[in-house]
Structures are given as C-alpha cells and as structure tokens.
Amino acid sequence: MKSAVIVFPGSNCDRDMAVALEKVTGVKPTMVWHQDHDFDAVDFIALPGGFSYGDYLRCGAMSARSNVMTEVVKRAAGGVPTLGICNGFQVLTETGLLPGALMRNAGLHFVCKDVKLSVENADTLFTADYMEGEEILVPVAHHDGNYFADDDTLDELEDEGRVAFRYLMDVNGSQRGIAGITNARGNILGMMPHPERMIEPALGGSHGRKLFTSIMNRLG
C-alpha cells in the first residue's frame, strides 16, 4: 500500500504517522511538503496532528489553503482513502471534506491522556478489523477538539452510520461524544484521538493498530 503523509509547518505527529504506516504496511510513506502542488499517485493520504501554522487564525484554517491541499481535496473527493488525525481532522473540516468544526475544549484546557473510545461502526474502510461496540484505549492531545455541528448534521451523521468513534468519557465537550466521523462516501475519516500512537505494546498498547490494518486489508 503506497501512502503519503502531508507535512505542514508546525506538524509534530508526521513522524509518528510515518512510523505507524511503515510498521503496518511494510512500505515507507512519501512525505509531502505543504508547498508542493502535486505528488505521486498513492493509495492512501494521511493528514497528521500538530499545530500547523501555529494554530494562528483558526486551527487548520491556514493549512486548508496550502498549495498541496488543492490536490489532496481533489483526490479525496475522487475517492482516495484519506485520514485526518487531530489537527488533520481540523484541516478536513476547514476544507469542507467533513462537516462541522472543532472548537476550544469545554474545559478551556489542553487535554493529554489516554481515553476510552467505542467503535460505533465497524463496517467502514477504517474500522473493518474492529468489532462494533468494541472498547479501545487511544491517546488524545489537543486544545481544540470539541466537535460541533448543527442538530440536522448530527442527526444525519448518526442516521447514516458516519460516527466511527465515540468517547466513553467526558473529554472535551464534543457533541454526542463524537470522536471521529466519516464522509458520506466512507473514504474519509477525521478523528481527534491518535491511533498512530498505539500500534504496539512498547508504546503502551496496540488498540490503534487495527485502524491501519483495516485500511491495508480493504485496499488489498
């Protein structure tokens, strides 16, 4: 599986993502700089966590308008599997590839800890190796992870099975405990927790590994 990790100024989880992808797939991903206008054809695109552009203006807003994002949006909208973690999730909402917004945490504090999640839909490209309702432990590290959308959008996400992961504890005030969502087509996932930091026991657990094996196995 050929993959690409998009790197913005201020990204600090790009190496974590690259290591996770190489360990699971056996293929080193292409690291793509935000100023690039194009990159080689890949099977999978990852937008990593961090503080792109220092989170100035609004988290993910400036990255969403980087040169490379024109190509990312084009490919993701065309069906290329795309994953946005933490800041990457914020970028996906800022581009309009995913609905809603990530607001300041309800407690107004940076949250950094392991949290329990429920796999809400195991019939997606990203969750196929999990069981529906499976409880997993994954780290979070964010200041603006409070997922917000209007009631109609929230109902649509629920009705269409697009809530992929839900918090099993109060973490940041996210509406309906939403931790991760997919687009209508199912090829884009945005989530605040960091599965790439939980891919082997040496890191404290391997609950995040199944997300990457799900993608790899579905793509063949």
Banded pLDDT at 218 (limits 50, 70, 90): confident
Q: Does the pLDDT of residue 35 top 80, yes or no?
A: yes
pLDDT, tens digit (0-9, with 9 covering 90-100), for 133-179:
999 999 999 999 999 999 999 999 999 999 999 999 999 999 999 99
Active site residues per annotation? 86, 194, 196
- For residues 142 and 167, the answer to whether their CB atoms sit within 8 Å is no
Write down the pLDDT at residue 71: 97
Banded pLDDT at 61 (limits 50, 70, 90): confident
Domains along the chain with CATH numbers: 3-219 (3.40.50.880)
Write down the pLDDT at residue 62: 87
Please report, as a single letter, which amino acid is at residue 98: L
Q: Which residue's structure tokens are 């409070």?
A: 146
166 phi/psi in degrees, rounded to 5: -130, 140
**Angle, helix 209-219 to helix 14-25, in steps of 10 degrees:** 60
Which of 148-173 are b and which e, b meaning 16 or more Cβ less than 10 Å from the residue's Cβ?
Answer: ebeeeebeebeeeebbbbbbeeebbb
- For residues 39 and 15, the answer to whether their CB atoms sit within 8 Å is no
Residues with Cβ within 8 Å of residue 158, at least 6 apart in sequence: 176
